[in-house]
Amino acid sequence: MSFSFGVQKDPIYGTYGEFTIGSEQNRVRAQFLLTKMKPGSEGSWENNLASQMVPWREVFNLEELTFDELLQRDLDDSRVAHDLIPYLLGDSGAFARFFPPILAVLVPKKPEKTGILPYYPPPSTSNEVSIGFGDLFDFEKAVIDGSVSPLGVIKYNRQKTAFIIVDGQHRAMAVLALHRQINDSWYSNNYAGFYQHLNLTENQIQNIELPICIVFFPDLHESNQECKQKGISLQAVCREIFLVVNKTAKRVSQSRELLLEDEDLAARMMRETLSKLKGRGESEASIAQIYSFAFGDSVSDAQHRKTEVVAGQLEYTSAVALHKMHAAVVFGSSTHFQVDSSNDITDQRRIKSSSRPAEILLGTPLDKWSTLSRRSGRSHPPHEVEAAVKHLANISDAVMLPLFDKFRPFAVHNSEMRALRTRLLDPDLKADPIQRKCYSLLFEGSGVRSVFEEHIKRLRDREKELLDEGRSIGDYVKNQLEDAKTVERALNRHEEEIKKRRSAILFNIDYTKFMSAEGNQADIKELLDRAQSIFDTVSTQAFQLGYLMAVHSVVELMLDSDTRYDRRMQVIEFVSNLYLNALNTYFSSGSDVEHRTLTGFVKELRSKVFDPNQLGLRGLLAQSVKEINESHWIFFRYAVLEIVHSKHAYASVLDGLSQTSETWLAEAYIRNLPNLIYTMIQVRHKYIEAAVNTSLNSTEFKQELQLVKARSIGEGKSDEEIKSLLEQLAAERTAEVEEKCKENIKASLGELAKEEKIVNRLLASVPVEESEATTEDE
């Protein structure tokens, strides 16, 4: 053998084996070494491996990783410290327990930026018993008495290699924590606080060993052009192993599955969008940043039910929501884009049109495809898939990214979050451990927050358990819980301040003077309630899907069946800007005056548009639906169309139509406007009809009818008289409900305009006489 003896390499000993991964056409050979690592201070090769088996957050700068490189779960240190380590040590600390093997892939680190290289270097040596990859690592089978044995050794370069733990990183962290604690080698690690309560002796850990299966792929090297052409890389096979292993282990969250999914093109588009957000600078304070998007491994109730909301949180959308948006606009059927259609687009099993993406790609180098299956991410050459993903992702991103950046509620929120982030980066606050933890919880991902919440829950449960048993609460639990509570209080103060500041700015109210006024608590509560109904609603999947589909439903009206990609993008961007400006007009006071009291826009009826308990469009939906979920995007598509063309916002639309330099866009919009508004009015009547039917079929009204019928029978009235009386009651209830519906619509729109009025006021050449009967009331 002629390995690179000039380079320092550490050995790993074990037994080797081989398996394959991938489909028949894309099958890759994998070799593994079954070995072990061990905490301790003896300096053995097992100890060295324990030092090397660190989580990704310590090997790489997560800020620099792409979403295609995020291969490990978020690490729950609280679970490691409170569940796994006590299990390893045993109740008395005298008996070591056993863990099944962890699974790790040996990969090359990038030499400059963080992340991993897609391939090993070309083999420097290769024969039946050994293979070497330059100064990266070597593998050799042991030959005993002239025969190849099942024993082997890997010699790895600590500086250039990393181990991606695709299964068992919490088990690995438990052993690493014991190893660091016994060696006092935490240094300035931010997560050391989870483990400082551990008082260990060598005797306690001397029998702890963790089996490891280390995998490498001898054919995935730079000189293998076949693998490169097929797009088979180390990242791809790591994702494949992670998903396969974890589907049969602890449930991987939906967002994590999507971050690792390669076949589903919508998942790839979602990652494309997240990567755009992650790569943004901070030149503008109001633009959306990645920390406002929820993704990670926490599986909340919101992911289990058909919900729409990250209500009350500072994150206003999620990876799962982005995935649904991309799937909707790229793989939805033509009926989904009809304004009066009730076909739900959130049922992912049915969103798989293969003709629509091919139509979208007309005019690109990919228009050779007559169809494109949603799950064909591995069926085409990698460079073509990458190009398709970028083109198709733009279809949704051209609408949603401007919304997240410029829609007033989001823009105000973004600015305040940016300001808080800047304050917490001040050197004095960074030196404060409580404020440093607050920064981490607010700006380093939803996974960090979920770990903290689980940690404080464990501590509280432990405290209660000790109190119930009449036992003393130890210093560790007491100190950790007090520290966690202090962080929680500081975090809540930051969040409450964000909510107050964004509420004041949204309604043009002087934050400092308004919040400091004496006896102002009732007004502050009203301000926060009014703002919360808006922020909570626009943070729902229902609203975001509804807005996206409102824009694309209009776009589909304006396009021909053979429209080329570039022209389609022009129409999308035009309608997106038109509607975004109209929404911002609607959610603005129309004045730059900054109020010191609760006056202005906040007191207008339209500020209650999304409050289900007030008169407004959301109140209209509440007449037939008590709780909204993602499937109610259909209502918000209708609501967006009503708002955009309403008395409060139509002037913005008119400006956009008259000022565009591309007059063909304005002409196409005007040409389709009568049909659009007619359909919108029909949907309006459907919601009124739904409210009437809900009321007539309610238990309360049916009981009322039964009482009237029974009383009438007792009074000796005839069947015809009773029938007439019941019909009269139904007619009265219908009229009452219809009137309430009209009040809800007028409260938000300023009027109950007919189709003719809405259309005519957007036709610059047709003056609208207010004396004409142009509202439904008249």
Could you give the number of structural domains in the chain?
Answer: 3
Residue 106 bridge partners (DSSP) = 163
Residue 525 lies in a domain: no
Answer yes or no: do 171 and 44 share one domain. yes
Query: pLDDT value at position 769?
Result: 47
Residue 389 lies in a domain: no
- pLDDT category, 99, cuts 50, 70, 90? confident
C-alpha to C-alpha distance for 240 and 89, rounded to whole angstroms: 33
Query: pLDDT value at position 630?
Result: 92
C-alpha to C-alpha distance for 100 and 250, rounded to whole angstroms: 14
- What is the tens place of the pLDDT at every residue in 562-588? 999 999 999 999 999 999 999 999 999
Helix H or strand E segment including 88 = helix 85-89
Answer yes or no: do 666 and 753 share one domain. yes
What's the mean per-residue pLDDT of the chain?
A: 87
Residue 639 lies in a domain: yes
- Average of pLDDT values for 513-533? 94
Phi, psi of 119 (to 5 degrees): -145, 155
Answer yes or no: do 512 and 649 share one domain. no
Answer yes or no: do 134 and 24 share one domain. yes
- Average of pLDDT values for 437-459? 83
- What is the tens place of the pLDDT at every residue in 628-644? 899 999 999 999 999 99
Answer yes or no: do 205 and 84 share one domain. yes
Query: pLDDT value at position 538?
Result: 96
Query: pLDDT value at position 80?
Result: 87
Q: Which residue has the tokens 């790609």?
A: 361
Answer yes or no: do 491 and 638 share one domain. no
- Average of pLDDT values for 747-753? 96
Q: Which residue has the higher pLDDT, 262 or 414?
A: 414
- Average of pLDDT values for 224-249? 79
Residue 567 lies in a domain: no
The half-sphere exposure of 457 on its side-chain side, counting CA atoms within 13 A, is: 8
Q: How many CB atoms lie within 10 A of CB 58?
A: 11
- pLDDT category, 95, cuts 50, 70, 90? low
Helix H or strand E segment including 293 = strand 293-294
- Average of pLDDT values for 85-111? 78
Answer yes or no: do 510 and 646 share one domain. no
What single string gives the DSSP state of each residue in 183-232? HT--TT-TTGGGTTT----HHHHTT--EEEEEEE-TT-BTT-HHHHHHT-
Q: Which of 224, 250, 276 is the last residue of a domain?
A: 250
- What is the tens place of the pLDDT at every residue in 408-419? 999 999 999 999
- pLDDT category, 92, cuts 50, 70, 90? very low
What single string gives the DSSP state of each residue in 18-58? EEEES-STT-EEEEEEEEEE--SSS--HHHHHHHH---HHH
Whether the pLDDT of residue 159 is over 70: the answer is yes
Query: pLDDT value at position 165?
Result: 84
- pLDDT category, 2, cuts 50, 70, 90? very low
- Average of pLDDT values for 273-292? 82
Answer yes or no: do 163 and 80 share one domain. yes
Whether the pLDDT of residue 313 is over 80: the answer is no
Range of the domain at 431: 421-516
Residues in CB range of 395: below 8 A, 6 or more apart:
329, 330, 360, 552, 568, 569, 572
Asked if residues 40 and 202 have their Cβ atoms less than 8 Å apart, the reply is yes
Query: pLDDT value at position 73?
Result: 55
Give the whole-number percent of the chain exceeding pLDDT 70: 90
Q: Which of 470, 495, 516 is the last residue of a domain?
A: 516
Indicate the DSSP class of residue 762. Answer: T
Residue 585 lies in a domain: no
Residue 554 lies in a domain: no
Query: pLDDT value at position 764?
Result: 59
Query: pLDDT value at position 96?
Result: 52
Three-class secondary structure of residue 443 per DSSP: helix
- pLDDT category, 310, cuts 50, 70, 90? very low
Residue 333 lies in a domain: no
Query: pLDDT value at position 63?
Result: 60
- Average of pLDDT values for 70-92? 74
Query: pLDDT value at position 766?
Result: 38
C-alpha to C-alpha distance for 711 and 722, rounded to whole angstroms: 10
Whether the pLDDT of residue 547 is over 60: the answer is yes
Query: pLDDT value at position 308?
Result: 37
C-alpha to C-alpha distance for 172 and 159, rounded to whole angstroms: 20
- pLDDT category, 161, cuts 50, 70, 90? very high
Query: pLDDT value at position 242?
Result: 75
Answer yes or no: do 607 and 496 share one domain. no
C-alpha to C-alpha distance for 755 and 178, rounded to whole angstroms: 72
Residue 557 lies in a domain: no
Q: Name the pairing type of β-strands 102-108 and 210-216.
A: parallel
Query: pLDDT value at position 15?
Result: 96
C-alpha to C-alpha distance for 477 and 82, rounded to whole angstroms: 11
- pLDDT category, 390, cuts 50, 70, 90? very high
**3-state SS, one letter per residue, for 621-667:** HHCCCCCCCHHHHHHHHHHHHHHHCCCCCHHHHHHHHHHCCCHHHHH
- Average of pLDDT values for 282-287? 76
- What is the tens place of the pLDDT at every residue in 7-26? 789 999 999 999 888 777 78
Query: pLDDT value at position 168?
Result: 86
Measured CA distances, 492 to 311, 349, 431, 487, 498 (Å): 15, 39, 20, 9, 10
Q: Which residue has the higher pLDDT, 714 or 770?
A: 714
Indicate the DSSP class of residue 599. Answer: -
Answer yes or no: do 79 and 228 share one domain. yes
Whether the pLDDT of residue 489 is over 80: the answer is yes
- What is the tens place of the pLDDT at every residue in 106-155? 999 988 777 789 999 999 999 999 999 999 999 999 999 889 999 999 99
- Average of pLDDT values for 678-699? 97
Amino acid at position 719, single letter: D
Whether the pLDDT of residue 768 is over 60: the answer is no
Answer yes or no: do 617 and 472 share one domain. no
Give the whole-number percent of the chain exceeding pLDDT 90: 60
Lowest mean pLDDT among 208-212, 312-316, 462-466, 710-714: 312-316
Instruction: Supply the pTM of this predicted model.
Output: 0.81
Asked if residues 243 and 250 have their Cβ atoms less than 8 Å apart, the reply is no
Q: Which of 482, 516, 550 is the last residue of a domain?
A: 516
- pLDDT category, 522, cuts 50, 70, 90? very high
Answer yes or no: do 636 and 776 share one domain. yes
Query: pLDDT value at position 312?
Result: 47
- pLDDT category, 299, cuts 50, 70, 90? very low
Query: pLDDT value at position 259?
Result: 72
Query: pLDDT value at position 564?
Result: 97
Whether the pLDDT of residue 679 is over 60: the answer is yes
